[in-house]
Amino acid sequence: MSTLEFDHVTVRYGASTVLDEVSLIVPDGEIVGLVGESGSGKSTLAKAAVGLAPVHGGQILLDGEPIRLRGRHRPVQMVFQDPFSSLDPRMTIGESIAEALYRPESGRLSRAGRRVEIARLLELVHLDAGRAGHRPGELSGGQRQRVALARALAGRPRLVIADEITSALDVSVQGAVLNLVREMQRELGLSMLFISHNLAVVRYVASQVAVLEGGRIVEHGPTAEVLGRPQHDYTRQLLAAIPGGHDTLTKETNA
Amino acid sequence: MSQRWFRIVKTPVGIVGLGLLALIVLLAVFAPILWGDKASTVDTENILAGPSAQHWFGTDNLGRDLFFRVLVATRLSLTLTLVATALGTVIGLVLGTAPQLLGGRLGRLVTALVNVFVAFPGLLLVLVFAVIFGVGARGAVLAIGLAVAPGLARLCQTLVAGVAGLEYVAAARIAGVNRFRIMARHVLPNVAEPLIVNVTITAGAILLSFAGLSFLGLGVQAPEYDWGRLMQDGLSGIFVHPLAALAPGIMVVLAGLAFNLTGEAIAGVFGISTTTGTGTMQVPSGETPVTELRHDHEADGDLVLDVRDLSVTFPGVNGPVRPVRGVSFAIAVGEAVGVVGESGSGKSLTALAIAGLVEEPASVDARHLTFCGTDLLEEPANGQTHDKLLGTSLAVVFQDPMTSFNPTMRIGAQLAEVGRHHQGLDRKEASERAVDRLRAVRVRDPERRARQYPFEFSGGMRQRAMIGMGLMGSPRLIIADEPTTALDVTVQSQVLALLQDVRREEGAALLLISHDVSVVADVCDRVLVMYAGRIVEDLPTADLRTRARHPYTRALVAAVPAMTTDVDAPLATIPGHPVEPAQVPVGCAYAARCPLATQRCLEQDPTLTAGPGGSRVACWHATEPAEVLTAQEAIA
Amino acid sequence: MATLIPAAAPPRSVPKPQGRLGGRWTRFALRRTGRLLVSLWVLVTVSFLMIHLVPGDPVRAALGMTAPTELVEAKRQALGLDDPLLTQYVHYLGNLLHGDLGESITTQLPVSETISQRLPATASLAVLAFLVAIAVAIPLGVAVAVATRRGRRRRTELAFAGSSVVLGAIPDFLVGVALVAVFAVGLGWFPVAGRTDASSYVLPVLALAIGPAAVLARIVRVEMLSVLETDYVRTARAKRLPARRIHLRHALPNAVTATLTLGGMLLASMIAGTVLVENVFAWPGLGSTIVQSIVTKDYPVVQGTVLVYGLGVLVINTLVDVALAVLDPRSTIGEL
C-alpha cells in the first residue's frame, strides 16, 4: 500500500470551482475520513483521484509520483455509494470481478487461475465463493457492496477510495460493511480514503479526519482530536447537528 | 434472458404481432414463387374489372389480377423496409455511440449535429434525399435509411448516456477497461432492449414511408411494384372500385401493425418487473394476534389518533400480500411518537394508511380508526367527506422535498390552495396567509419566496415550506415520513428543531417516521419499533438505549455507530435479511435472525403485550436478561 | 415513437437556486435564438447543397437528354452553376435575404410567387388539423388516464389501447383514401378532391389529424398516468383538494409539459404529412408542388419549397420551446 497526496488540487466545472486548492495526504496503511455536506466537493475529490474529474490545478501524487490514470492497471480503485447501480446487471459477479483482475505484465491469467483468484477475493469479503455465478439481482444491498469491495481489491490497488459506501444501506447491514472495512485495513494494511457525511461512521473507521466545506479543507487531523476538540466553526456546527448528540436543537441558523 | 424473450409469445399483443410478422415473412418468401406468374398475366378481356369470383380484388389497367399482385408485392415491400432499417440502424448506432467513444469536443459536435437534424420531420428529410439520390427504389432506400438515422442516433445517444453515467461503468473505467470494450460489454447490452423495440417500431414506420413514397410516384417505378405503387395505380380508379386502392393499403397497415405490435410486446415484457412471487411464499391468514391496547390513564378525548388493527393489503400474484399486519397504537394530544424500522418494515405505509393516502390496488383495513374523535372509517352522514377535517387538522410532510412540490406552480400558490379550499379564504386572503405561514416556518423574505417556483428553493427551504403548508390550517397531528433523510446533517437538525417549535406553538402531535433511531430519540417522547409489518416494541425514548426488551430493538440500537461507540470493538450486526412482506413466516417474523429464538418462536407469533410503565413488547423472551444477547451479538 | 421505454430513473439533479428571474429568461432567449440560427443555417446550406449533390448535371437532368446543348449551357449560365461553389453560396444567401428564391426551370415563374400562391392552402390545412388533433387528444388522454388508473376498467383501457395503436399505425394518406372511398365516393357527403368551400376541408383535415390524435392521446395518457403517481400529486391529495383540481391544476400542466416536446415533433411531422394528403385530395398546396417538382427535377422549386417547409418546422420547434418555458420554468435553466 502507498501514500496518496493531493497537492493543491483545483477542479472546476464551467464557472464554478468545486475544489479549491485542496491538499490532503492519505498515509500508507491508514484510513482517512473525509466529511462534508452535499456540494462540499467530497465526491469530486474522489473522482479526481481516479481520473473521472478534470483537474485544473495542482497534482495528485502516489508515493511521490504523479498518479497513473490511463492504461490497464490503475493503482487507485473506488467503491461507490449505490450498490444497485455499481454492478452491471448483465454480468455475473464473477465476471465483474474478473474484469478488474490484476494482470501480470508477462501475460494473461489462466482460466483456472482466474477462478481461484475470484474465489479468494469473495472469501476475503465474507461471501461464499459459489456466489461467483450469481447476478447482482440475486444479492442484497449489503452483499453487493461487498462484491464492489472485492472488485476494487481485484486490481491489486495501492489505495482504495470509498465514497459513501454505507449511506444507501439499511442499518442492520451497515455495521457488517463497516466491520469489513476495518478488517481490510488491519489485515491487508489497506490505505483508504473514506468519504461519508456521517461523522459517527467516520469516527468508527478512520484514524484521521478531514473536513471539507465549499471545496476547501477547513480542518484536518487525528480523528479523536478533530472530533473531540474541533477548532473550526464549521466542524463544531457539524458535530452539534448530529442527532442524539449532546446539545442538539438549541442553535438557530438559517438553511 | 431467453426465457424473457419467450414470454413475448405468451402475451396477446405478442401473439398477434409475431403471428402477423411471420405471415408477412412467409408471403414475402413464397408469394413470388407461387403466384408470380398469375400476378403478371395480362388479361385484355378484363381490364379494370371489379371484384369477381375469378379476380377477387378485380384487375388493373392491363387486366392483371390485383389479389395476387398485392400478395407478390409483399417481397419487395418487406425487402426495401429491411434494407432501409438496417442502413438507418447502422448509421444511428455509429452516430449514437460516437459521443461516448470520441468524447470531448468532437463528441459534442456529433451530438449537436444529430440534434439539428432530428428537429426536421422524417418525410422532409426523405424528400431532400430523394432529390439527391433520384427517383426509384434504390434512391428511396438510401433516402429513407438516412432519414431515420438521426432519430435513432438521438435515441441511442440518450440511452447510452444514461447507462454510461451509471456507477458500474465508472467502476469499469477505473479498473482500466478501455472505452470500446466498455461500450461493447457494459453499455450496449444494457440498452439493447429499448433499442430493439425502437428499431422494430421504426421498421413499421419505414414500411409506411416506402408506401407513401411509392404512392407519390417517388419510390418504386414500374414495372416493379410494391404496395404503395399498387395503391397509387388504384387511386385513379377509386370511383369505379375502391378495393384496388384499399387492398394494398390494408396490407400496408397490417404489416405496419405487425412491426408495431411486436415492438410493443417486447417493450411490455421488458418493462415489467419480475421480482414478485416464487410460489413458496406464505401469507398468514387474516387473523392477527389480538393486541391489547390500554389507555387507562387517558380518556378517549385526549387522543388525537387511535388506530386498532390497521393492515394494508396488496393483491399479489400468489394471493394477497400484507406489508402492514395489524398495527395498533394511539397518540395523545401534543405527543410526539416515532416509528423506526428498516426499509420494508411497513413504517411508511402505516403512516400513509393513517393519512388516507394509500391507493388502489392496496386496501386498508382497521378495526378502529379515529382522528380527533372523528371515526374515519365511516363516511359522514350529510354526504360530505372528511376532506375538510383532514385538510386543516392533519399535516403531512414527505421524505423528498425535491419531488413533493408541483414543479410548475409557485410555492405561495401551493400553500394558498389549502386556504382557498378548506378555509373559505378568497385569493388575496389565502396568499397573505401563505406568506404569513412561510414567515412562521422562518423562510426569509417570504413575500418574494412565495412568488418563486420550487426549483428556486434549496432542499431545506422546501421542507420548511412543506411544514408551512401543513400550518395553513391548525394541525392537530403532523405526520412526517422521513422528513430529513434527504437533507444534510446541519439542515436536518434545523428542520427537526422547526418541527419541535411548531409542535410547541400549535400544540400539535407528531408522528415521525424514520430509519434513524437517533433522530427519533432526539425528537420523540415514545418510539414504536416496527418489523415485518408489526409493531414489535412500543417504549419511551428514554428507555431506548438502556431498557429495550425486544432483541430487534436492541440490535437496531447497537448496530448504528454513535459518537460514543467503542471504536475498538466490532459493531453489532444483525445476521440474515429482513423478511419480505410476501414471505412472512408462521411464528415470530424475527426468529430467523434472533439469537434468542427457540422452538416456540418458530411456531407461535408473539402478541404485543403491555408491560410495566405502559410500554408494550411482542417477544416470548422479553423478560430474559440483556447480557445473553449482547454476547451473542458480538460473535455474529 | 409512441412507445415510451421504461428507463432507469435519471439521477436527480439539484438545481441551484436562481437569484435573478430576468437573467434566467435573457439567457434562455439568447440560447434559444442561437439554436434557431444554427438550425436555420443548416437548413439553408442543405437546400443549397442539395442541387450540387445530385449526380451528373442537374440542368441536363431537368431539361432531358434531348435538350440542345446550347440551351443547357444557357440555363447553367443563368443559374450561375459555372461559378465557384463559394461564389454561388454567397450569391444564394444574398438572394435569399431579398426574398429571391430563383425561378422555375420548367415554368420560368419566380419560385417565391408559386410559394406565396400555394402556401395558404397548406398552412390552413396543417393548422386546422393540429387544432383538431389537440382538441381530441388531450381531453381523451386525460379522461382515459384518470378512468383506467391503477388497473381500473381494464376493458376501457384495452379498447383505447387497441384502437389508438391501430389508428396511429395507419398512414395519413391511407386514411385519406379510405375517407374518400367512404364519405365522398360512397356516401357523397363531401367533395372528392380540390379546395372549394368549407366542406372540402373536412376530409383532408381528418385524414391529417386522426393518426396524430391517436398517438398524442396515447402519449397524454401515459404521461398523465406517470404524473398521477408523482410525489407532488400525493402532496396535493394530502391537502385534500377536490379530484378535479388535482387532475386539472396539478397533474395536467405537468403531463402537458412532458407531452409538448413530442407534440411539437408530431406537429412538425403533420406539416410534412400535408405532402401526402394533398396528393390524395388534389389539394392546391405546396405538397403537390414539391412532389411535382421532384419528379420533373425542377430544382429551384424543390429548394424553395424545402426551405419553406423547414422554416415552418423550425418556427414550430421554437414556439414549442417557448411554450414549455412558460409552462415549466425549470426548462429555462436547461442545457443547450
pLDDT of amino acid B274: 28
Q: How many CB atoms lie within 10 A of CB C336?
A: 11
Q: Please give, one letter per residue, the 3-state secondary structure of B183-215.
A: HHHHHHHHHHHHHHHHHHHHHHHHHHHHHHHHH
Distances (CA, A) of A202 to A125, A146, A162, B569: 20, 18, 11, 15
Model pLDDT for residues C146-159, shown as the tens digit of each residue: 888 877 788 888 88
Contact between B175 and A140 using a beta-carbon 8 Å cutoff: no
CB B212 within 8 A of CB B123: yes
Chains that touch A (3 or more CB pairs under 8 A): B, C
pLDDT reading at C247 higher than 80 = yes
Residue B576 CA to residue B596 CA, distance in Å, equals 14
Higher pLDDT, C71 or B425: B425
Sequential DSSP letters for B106-141: HHHHHHHHHHHHHTS-HHHHHHHHHHHH-SSHHHHH
Half-sphere exposure of residue B305, counting CA atoms within 13 Å on the CB side?
29
Q: Judge whether C167 is closer than 8 Å to chain B, CB to CB.
A: no
Residue C205 CA to residue C209 CA, distance in Å, equals 6
3-state secondary structure of B370: strand
Contact between B521 and A237 using a beta-carbon 8 Å cutoff: no
Q: Is residue B447 within a helix (H) or strand (E), and if so which, with residue range?
A: helix B446-450
Per-window interface: A 121-160 vs B, CB < 8 A: 140, 148, 151-152, 154-155
3-state secondary structure of C125: helix
Q: Judge whether A38 is closer than 8 Å to chain C, CB to CB.
A: yes
Question: Which of chain A's residues have a Cβ under 8 Å away from the Cβ of C14?
Answer: 38-39
Sequential DSSP letters for A66-135: EPP-SSS--SEEEE-S-TTTSS-TTS-HHHHHHHH----TT-PPPHHHHHHHHHHHHHHTT--GGGGG--
Model pLDDT for residues B270-282, shown as the tens digit of each residue: 653 322 222 333 3
Residue (of B531, B554, B545, B543) closest to B608 by Cα position: B531
Residue B379 CA to residue B255 CA, distance in Å, equals 54
- Chain centre to alpha carbon of residue A61: 17
Q: Judge whether A231 is closer than 8 Å to chain B, CB to CB.
A: no
Residue partners of B81: CB distance under 8 A and separation at least 6: B203, B206, B207, B210
Q: Is residue B530 within a helix (H) or strand (E), and if so which, with residue range?
A: strand B526-531
Rg (CA), chain C: 24
CB B157 within 8 A of CB B117: no
Per-window interface: B 334-373 vs C, CB < 8 A: 355, 357, 359-361
Residue B13 CA to residue B475 CA, distance in Å, equals 50
Closest Cβ opposite residue C231 in set B120, B231, B398: B398
For B366-491, strand residue ranges (E) read 368-371, 374-375, 394-397, 477-481
Residue (of B249, B228, B245) closest to B237 by Cα position: B245
In the predicted model, what is the mean pLDDT of residues A106-124? 83
pLDDT reading at A75 higher than 50 = yes
Nearest CA in chain C to A39: C14
- Domain-by-domain residue ranges, chain B? 27-271, 545-636
For residue C105, count CB atoms less than 10 angstroms from its CB and return exposed for 0-12, middle for 13-18, buried for 19 or more: buried
Mutate to test the interface with B, among C28, C163, C173, C239 (most CBs of B within 10 A): C239
- Whether the CA torsion C41, C42, C45, C46 is positive or negative: it is negative
C-alpha cell read off for B566: 467503542
Residue C33 CA to residue C284 CA, distance in Å, equals 33
CB C91 within 8 A of CB C78: no
Residue B172 CA to residue A151 CA, distance in Å, equals 10
pLDDT of amino acid B4: 67
Packing angle between helix C21-53 and helix B104-118, nearest 10 degrees?
Answer: 80
Sequential DSSP letters for A16-68: EEEEEEEEEEE-TT-EEEEE--TTSSHHHHHHHHTTSS---EEEEEETTEEPP
Sequential DSSP letters for C2-15: -PPPP-PPPPPP-P
Report whether the peptide linkage leading into residue B223 is cis, meaning its omega lies within 30 degrees of zero. yes
Q: Which parts of chain B register pLDDT below 70?
A: 1-4, 238-239, 270-301, 381-383, 624-636
Contact between B120 and C310 using a beta-carbon 8 Å cutoff: yes
CB C174 within 8 A of CB C251: no
pLDDT reading at C6 higher than 70 = no
pLDDT of amino acid B242: 74
- Residue A245: pLDDT band by 50, 70, 90 thresholds? low
Residue (of A154, A156, A92) closest to A120 by Cα position: A154
CB C294 within 8 A of CB B130: yes
Nearest CA in chain C to A85: C8
CB C125 within 8 A of CB C283: yes
pLDDT of amino acid A151: 92
In the predicted model, what is the mean pLDDT of residues A78-84? 87
Residue C60 CA to residue C68 CA, distance in Å, equals 9
**Which of A18-32, A172-186, B220-234, C271-285 has the largest mean confidence?**
A18-32
Report whether the peptide linkage leading into residue C212 is cis, meaning its omega lies within 30 degrees of zero. no
Q: Judge whether B289 is closer than 8 Å to chain A, CB to CB.
A: no
- Residue C96: pLDDT band by 50, 70, 90 thresholds? confident
Residue B289 CA to residue B607 CA, distance in Å, equals 6
Query: Nearest CA of chain B to the CA of A232: how many Å?
Result: 15
3-state secondary structure of A145: helix
End-to-end CA, chain C: 23
Contact between B489 and A73 using a beta-carbon 8 Å cutoff: no
In CATH, which of 1.20.1250.20, 3.40.640.10, 1.10.3720.10, 1.20.1260.10 is domain B27-271?
A: 1.10.3720.10
Sequential DSSP letters for C175-241: HHHHHIIIIIIIS--S-SSS--STHHHHHHHHHHHHHHHHHHHHHHHHHHHHHHTSHHHHHHHHTT-
Closest Cβ opposite residue A245 in set B458, B563, B577: B563
Model pLDDT for residues C179-225, shown as the tens digit of each residue: 888 887 778 788 877 777 888 888 899 999 998 899 888 888 888 88
C-alpha cell read off for A205: 473507521
With cell 374515519, the residue in question is B376
pLDDT of amino acid C10: 35
CB B587 within 8 A of CB B271: no
Chains that touch B (3 or more CB pairs under 8 A): A, C
The least confident of A14-18, B555-559, C21-25 is: C21-25
Q: Judge whether B255 is closer than 8 Å to chain C, CB to CB.
A: no
Q: Judge whether A91 is closer than 8 Å to chain B, CB to CB.
A: yes
The one-letter amino acid code at B453 reads Y
Angle at B157 between CA B152 and CA B162, to 5 degrees: 130
Per-window interface: A 29-48 vs B, CB < 8 A: 37-38
pLDDT of amino acid B256: 86
Model pLDDT for residues C98-125, shown as the tens digit of each residue: 878 787 877 778 888 888 888 888 888 9
3-state secondary structure of B445: coil
- Whether the CA torsion B518, B519, B525, B527 is positive or negative: it is negative
Residue B452 CA to residue B240 CA, distance in Å, equals 65
**CATH class of the domain whose range is A4-241:** alpha beta
CB B165 within 8 A of CB C11: yes
Query: Nearest CA of chain B to the CA of A60: how many Å?
Result: 16
Q: Is residue B251 within a helix (H) or strand (E), and if so which, with residue range?
A: helix B243-271
